[in-house]
Amino acid sequence: MVDRRLLVLQALAEYGTVTAEALSHTPSAVSAQLRSLAEHLGVTLLRTEGRLVRLTPAGRLLADRAAELARLSNEIHADTAQRGNAERSLLRLCGFSTPMAALLPRLANSLQERHPYLQVRIEEADPLGCFQKLVTETADLAVLVVNDEVPSVNDPRFEQSLLVKDPLDLLVHEDSSMAAMDSVDFATLASAAWITDRVGSANYQLFLITCLSAGFTPSVAHHASDWDAAAALVTAGLGIALIPRLADLPGRYPVRRVQLQDSAVPTRSIIVASRAGGRQDPVIAEALDILDELASTARRAITTPHPTD
């Protein structure tokens, strides 16, 4: 087991900051851990530059070696589990929004049916937070949507694989003329009032790129990060929205999904990530195999949009 303080330092070196949620500690507790580590080693690990905190050369060296130590620790843990037939008692999963809801509850049920004494813990986190949790060993597997905060697939600290390509559909009021259409040309929506995620989010970036590729700058009327909230705004006649095909909506909303024509379908990539060497752990390997099966089922389900919502 790697010293927890080293993992905190490693995450700080990688991301420039580390969320309290990723560590399951308060910000003051995180600061206390780093001070304790510096005092224990007798070196200065951080320096303050205005409002920024940067690593000293000693801090950078220690963070780099901590990453090597974490990889070695994972390999030792997996080898021990394999050779000793050790039964893992806890598997920690984290995920982002739609992929979390679509895949992780079923994964947890399948694992607990096979391993009655296995505790599976699920926690929601954004994509960056998911990787911070992997780095700090507060999660074992993460299911998330790829965005510009996700590390490269060549990052040696992680193993990443594609699960599902999730297309987005148009969400309109059931009384809209578009509700009866088989598909809609995205370029014809240039004058529409749009309901979309907050500025800067991965969903907003995908939405904006799709609009610009179709030849227009969108008129954004409202922002809603929750699909339920977006559906409520569409129901009120306040605009139209894009929604992932994997996302379920409560049946109380008088809305309809409409496919976008093939040339302009925005699509999200949903991946699973673990620490390097994770598949050597028998339970993690089994969880990844189950996720592959669930993803295969999801791929078949999203070949057509939901007939009604």
For residues 243 and 70, what is the distance between their CA atoms, to the nearest angstrom? 38
Phi, psi values for residue 254, rounded to 5°: -80, 65
Q: For the chain, what's the residue count?
A: 309
Name which residue leads in pLDDT, 156 or 4. 156
Q: At what angle do helices 282-301 and 97-114 cross, to 10 degrees?
A: 130
DSSP-derived letter for residue 175 is T
Confidence check: pLDDT of 255 > 50: yes
- Phi and psi of 94, rounded to 5°? -135, 155
Fold of the 1-86 domain: Arc Repressor Mutant, subunit A (1.10.10)
The Cα angle at residue 230 between residues 226 and 231, in degrees rounded to 5: 115
The closest of 301, 230, 304, 237 to 265, measured between CA atoms, is 304
Where is 162: in which H helix or E strand?
A: strand 158-173
Closest CA to 5 of 92, 73, 66: 66
For all residues of the chain together, what is the average pLDDT?
83
- φ/ψ of 201, rounded to 5, equals -75, 165
**Which pLDDT band holds residue 21 (cuts at 50, 70, 90)?**
very low
pLDDT exceeds cutoff 50 at 125: yes
Place 20 in a pLDDT band, splitting at 50, 70 and 90: very low
Tell me the whole-structure pTM to 2 decimals. Answer: 0.72
Which secondary structure element, helix H or strand E, spans residue 143, and what is its range? strand 141-145
pLDDT in tens, 268-295: 999 999 998 888 889 999 999 999 999 9
Residues 270, 104: Cα–Cα separation, whole Å:
13
pLDDT at 68: 67
Domain limits, CATH 3.40.190.10, in the chain: 165-268
> pLDDT class for 51, splitting at 50, 70, 90?
low
Residue type, 23: L
Q: Which residues is 16 bridged to in the sheet?
A: none
Residue 55 amino acid letter = L
Give the pLDDT confidence score for residue 2 in this predicted structure.
Answer: 58
In the chain, which residues fall in CATH 1.10.10.10? Answer: 1-86
CA 284 to mean position of chain CA atoms: 18
Say what the pLDDT of residue 148 is: 84
pLDDT tens-digit series, residues 99-111: 888 999 999 999 9
Topology of 165-268 in CATH? D-Maltodextrin-Binding Protein; domain 2 (3.40.190)
Give me the numbers of helices (H) and strands (E) for the chain, helices first please: 9, 12
